[in-house]
A and B are shown apart, each in its own frame.
Chain A
């Protein structure tokens, strides 16, 4: 009870903030630039990978999660885990529903399904 006035939380150095800021700006420039290069299906993968990296930089440094307790991290992971459940179960419904509608048999759907994916 004696350390009420313990200095505030974790103070992140300014240079860390500036470095993260520059990385985010560079990531935005990179993701915009890559969109103008034909990588086929990898365009989406690269765009999402860069967005994910930027998100992690913001969460870890700007939102101080790098210095947070395990409890806070578990809560955050729960949020993303539930988001993953929502997306995965919705897709498992949507992507398998088509099959039931096709009286010609599943083999006729192979070209259609490959189209659905990309």
Chain B
């Protein structure tokens, strides 16, 4: 019967196999980090390929990089950092037991910044690339000033679209996760004791932010802009 009594004292969301909530939280974060390690190596494969080809064809990569608009890349970096802050504040609101409307406010704001990032990328940046004829497979045109480097410049653009495209795909998944979090919050699923879905989704969101930090530095700023 003491089992039942202990059961009644459990905070919501507590799983029986854990000693206490602290251990449960650590296990959750650890599991998410194991997944993120696979993500590091997933993106790492592309970064490795990028490094190799950049070493082999540096001049072409500089030419290709200068086709990209720094203003788009930089603006999106700012937007994504804002979304990371609001995500962190959403988790903090849950930790400190704020009203659920406040948690939802920060989550929605995070989604708005995420959507702004994708909106800028798809409707401004990629449209601009399309008009400039620098999208491989969609009317890509060699320019006379590239000389014999044309195919290599096109290869840089392939790297650009695959890496930022894969990143954008992660952002879209992130927006789906955030939608679920908003619904869970609205249904009072979180408390200062139990907010694991918020915490590990935050880890994912911040990871995607980190990937972009490197993509911005490595794709947009090669060889300087002077």
Contacts and interface: CB of A to CB of B under 8 A. Distances in A.
Contacts of A82: 37, 40-41
A79 B220 CA distance: 26
B82 to A, nearest CB: 8
A36 B55 contact: no
A104 interface: no
Interface string A9-40: 10110100110110011001001100111110
Contacts of A28: 74, 77-78, 81, 216
Majority DSSP secondary structure for residues of B touching A:
helix
B96 A11 contact: yes
Given A79-B37, A87-B48, A62 B224 contact: no
Contacts of A62: 84-85, 87-88, 202, 206, 209
Interface residues of B, number: 65
A14 B1 CA distance: 44
A58 B205 CA distance: 11
B192 interface: yes
Given A8-B193, A79-B40, A31 B221 contact: yes
Interface string A39-79: 10001100110110011001101111000110110011011
Given A8-B95, A32-B70, A48-B217, A72 B48 contact: no
Contacts, number: 173
A71 B85 contact: no
Interface string B1-18: 000001001110010000
Given A75-B37, A76-B33, A86 B210 contact: no
A95 B210 CA distance: 28
Given A37-B226, A54-B213, A62-B202, A75 B34 contact: yes
Contacts of B58: 115-116, 118
A101 interface: no
25 contacts: A5-B21, A7-B95, A12-B92, A18-B85, A31-B221, A37-B224, A37-B226, A47-B217, A50-B217, A51-B214, A51-B217, A51-B218, A55-B213, A55-B214, A62-B202, A62-B206, A62-B209, A63-B202, A63-B206, A75-B30, A75-B33, A79-B33, A83-B41, A83-B47, A87-B48
Interface of A: 1, 3-9, 11-12, 14, 17-18, 20-21, 24-25, 28, 31-32, 35-39, 43-44, 47-48, 50-51, 54-55, 58-59, 61-64, 68-69, 71-72, 75-76, 78-80, 82-83, 86-87, 90-91, 94-95, 115-118
